[in-house]
Structure 1
């Protein structure tokens, strides 16, 4: 199947490209910069320069395409409404005009619950727009990515840096982006997923304290933890809304407030596994993911220490 992957250079998008190529699909990637997407070309994907906010660039990228997988979202420097709303509307309209058969959209779990949070509201509005487009769509709603735990917890602990966590942060059922990519590709030729939405959640929800304790156990190091009250986050967000330059930051802080709320971010998955014909036992757990990561890192550190020790024992030639 000939696919167009949008958001292909992102944390999830690159895994979707990798999975699609491994399964024999012909993959095209819409990118703003060929340099940024060079690794995708090395994998075997074709790069097409385009921008969701420039609708005239989309029809050439969709020529002959049978399915679109949309994993794009605004970068921190982008305006959320321009990319995640205007850009997605442009893409959906262009896909419809090009006669695309399948459209897989990556949204966020529970987006409909937070109309006052810009990113969540836009994702929900995009879901509704897609559902009304007439395309054969599938909407996937992940909770959170396991990959995000590396920068938030693993690296600071290894480097003996401080970790900032919110008091009372909600547990999140993280899922590996490789597993999410598996669901996205599996949806393409599964008629039971057409015109339906599915949550994507890990085996259980983890709070920040549990993750920190797991990292400490796996590394044998103590974490330096600093806690921020949720009230401070709300105050900063409110102040930023008074300044035009702070609107984009305030929008993102509003989303942060959702993921650190009191309600656990998780969803039942039994029906999802059955529909997609995927074995739940093959899905990566938090313990497995962090265990493998720290195992590789600790091994590398031991090798570096050994090489340094060996080099220090060499005698000078004079």
Structure 2
């Protein structure tokens, strides 16, 4: 714990999401004065500490966050949606809600804004899920505030899809499965986000410690599930056909996350390595949890 971190007050938005929960824990672990914007107060119970202020608000409604940024030095936002819900669009959440935070931060004289986007986001503005994120990134860069854009590789939580397929006996991958990536655990990424409070880097690209091919992850998932190695290779023309069909016949609410997944699965995504959490252990812990639920 650094002495200069204790003096700062951080406002965290998105604390109930996968990454946000870990950032909240990291801020608490470091004894950093923290304000947390949260919609569901029941989920705030584990965050109840003397130096943590819980703010019941909805970032999509700017009037609910007004006045709560007083005394805040740094804002950290993980606000965004990967799977549509509540009828909200990417532009309504990933862009507009973050703009609400940014505008309120500027009014209150906040010094720095840390925002979590996606790896290679600037290269995939054509994707609906990324378009809104990068539109906000543009506004943040032009805001006049100090800023850090965090660009993580895939989350460990996203890798559960491999386990779900493995439990059914087969894992599907595109092409030969040789594309490489290094997903990162939420706890490791949270450390990067909190360290960014005192960083002068404008952008941080980060991934986990292990660089793996899609084939290796599929194999790992099947082994963890105790299933025979049954990996089905789907030709890329099928992937492209699915993309065309989804874009043509469904709304962005439906095809957005599928479009993002199918696009990134067709390319390497290797980021500077960080952290100590291993995907193999994550898979094992997930399977242990599944078994306990089944037996319980």
Counterparts of 2:291 and 2:262, CA distance in 1: 36
Asked if 1:265 corresponds to 2:269, the answer is: yes
- Work out the number of aligned pairs and report it: 284
Asked if 1:212 corresponds to 2:222, the answer is: no
Counterparts of 1:43 and 1:175, CA distance in 2: 31
Asked if 1:76 corresponds to 2:84, the answer is: yes
Within a 5 Å distance, the mapping from 1:293-312 to structure 2 comes to 293-294=283-284, 297=287
Q: Report the Cα offset of residue 301 of structure 1.
A: 5.7
Counterparts of 1:184 and 1:25, CA distance in 2: 13
Corresponding residue number in structure 2 for 1:167: 175
Within a 5 Å distance, the mapping from 1:102-121 to structure 2 comes to 102-121=112-131
Q: Report the Cα offset of residue 38 of structure 1.
A: 3.7
Corresponding residue number in structure 2 for 1:144: 154
8 Å CA contact 1:32, 1:51 repeated in 2: yes
Corresponding residue number in structure 1 for 2:136: 126
- TM-score normalised to structure 2 length: 0.83
Counterparts of 2:62 and 2:33, CA distance in 1: 23
Corresponding residue number in structure 2 for 1:201: 207
User: 1:72-104 deviations in whole A, cap 9, x for unaligned?
Assistant: 112421311110111112211111111112211
Secondary structure of 2:18's aligned partner: coil
Q: Report the Cα offset of residue 108 of structure 1.
A: 0.8
Which ranges in structure 2 are unaligned for 5 or more consecutive residues?
A: 1-7
- Greater shift after overlay, 8-17 or 139-148? 139-148
Corresponding residue number in structure 2 for 1:97: 107
Secondary structure of 1:63's aligned partner: coil
Given the superposition, is the C-alpha separation of residues 45 and 226 from structure 1 closer, same or farther in structure 2, using an over 3 Å criterion? Answer: farther
Give the alignment's Cα RMSD to 1 decimal.
3.0
Corresponding residue number in structure 2 for 1:315: none
User: 1:132-181 deviations in whole A, cap 9, x for unaligned?
Assistant: 101111111001112322x2233554x44543433355322111111111
Match of 2:11 among 4, 29, 43: 4
Corresponding residue number in structure 1 for 2:241: 235
Q: Report the Cα offset of residue 234 of structure 1.
A: 3.7
Counterparts of 1:232 and 1:100, CA distance in 2: 48
Q: Report the Cα offset of residue 233 of structure 1.
A: 4.2
User: 1:23-66 deviations in whole A, cap 9, x for unaligned?
Assistant: 00122221222234443348974321222221112223322222
Counterparts of 2:198 and 2:122, CA distance in 1: 27
- Greater shift after overlay, 208-217 or 74-83? 208-217
Corresponding residue number in structure 2 for 1:177: 186
Corresponding residue number in structure 1 for 2:40: 33
Secondary structure of 1:165's aligned partner: strand
Counterparts of 2:229 and 2:19, CA distance in 1: 28
Counterparts of 2:58 and 2:115, CA distance in 1: 17
Given the superposition, is the C-alpha separation of residues 83 and 297 from structure 1 closer, same or farther in structure 2, using an over 3 Å criterion? Answer: closer
Counterparts of 1:14 and 1:212, CA distance in 2: 27
Counterparts of 1:241 and 1:153, CA distance in 2: 24
Corresponding residue number in structure 1 for 2:3: none
- TM-score normalised to structure 1 length: 0.78
Counterparts of 1:220 and 1:250, CA distance in 2: 32
8 Å CA contact 1:238, 1:250 repeated in 2: no
8 Å CA contact 2:221, 2:283 repeated in 1: no
Counterparts of 1:301 and 1:257, CA distance in 2: 30
